[in-house]
A = this chain, B = another copy of it.
Amino acid sequence: MPTSTGYPLHRSEIYDELERGDLNILRAMLPSERLFDRGESILIGGEPHDYVYRIRTGWAARVRHIEDGRRQLITIFLPGDLCAVKCLLMNRQPDAIECVTPVTAHFIQQAELRTLARLDPDVALRLMFQLGEDERRLHNWVAVLGRGDADEAMATLMLDLRARLRLVGLANGNTFKLPMTQQQIGEHLGLTVVHVNRVLRRFRESGVLTVTKSIVTVHSSQKLRQLASPMLDVFEKTSPAYNSD
């Protein structure tokens, strides 16, 4: 299994440094491993935290809890993703990171990683790249939430998950595992469960894709891309991970 989700859009002149940095981080983390249950919090909003993680198996999410019970899943973490990098720099941060499924993760003490970054510019660059890549995804998601309608948002999410899972070898062809409840999908898309359900029904009825028992089957990549198209950025429109069927 690949160790990272790749370096989409990276500047080619820094590829070698990124690879070395990635390897060095992975090496420093390898001895450690921790198991989290489904629903367990890897870190809790508002509290300081001392570790940085790399998800090995399972899905997690950055979750914003709003006082009146509303929730927003801000980011989905898949295997290979580094998470809580931001905590290297901030002494606390408002969001929790919660496990969508059981999760196994390698981890490293922040202080140690900071030292590593200080001694090894490749590591610093790799961390910077992770932050940049997270930012890129967030930019996309802001555009989706701000300007997309429900169909566009759902289609974009599905394409994005499929592409990312392909990069780490967890999806091939037209099928992938989606271990999120419709409630959680709604909390990520800014929709209610009820509406998520209706959108999925329409997708099913119009032959776009089917979700059964946490398995997504894409029946028409072409239709799916067409639905998501306005929300895809220039890069995604030409990336093989998005476009191959």
Contacts and interface: CB of A to CB of B under 8 A. Distances in A.
Contact of A139 (B95, B133, B187): B95
A74 B129 contact: no
A102 interface: no
A77 to B, nearest CB: 13
Contacts of A132: 85-86, 88-90, 131
Contacts of A128: 88-89, 117, 124, 127-128, 131
Nearest to A67: B230
A11 B88 CA distance: 8
Quickly give the copy total for this chain.
2
Interface string A82-94: 0001101111111
A91 B190 contact: no
Nearest to A48: B11
Given A134-B135, A146-B72, A66 B141 contact: no
A64 interface: yes
B90 A10 contact: yes
A58 to B, nearest CB: 22
A9 B92 contact: yes
8 contacts: A9-B91, A11-B89, A66-B147, A74-B142, A88-B128, A128-B131, A131-B131, A131-B135
Interface of A: 9-12, 14, 45-46, 62, 64, 66-68, 70-72, 74-75, 85-86, 88-95, 114, 117-118, 121, 124-125, 127-129, 131-136, 138-143, 145-147, 187-190, 229-231, 233-235
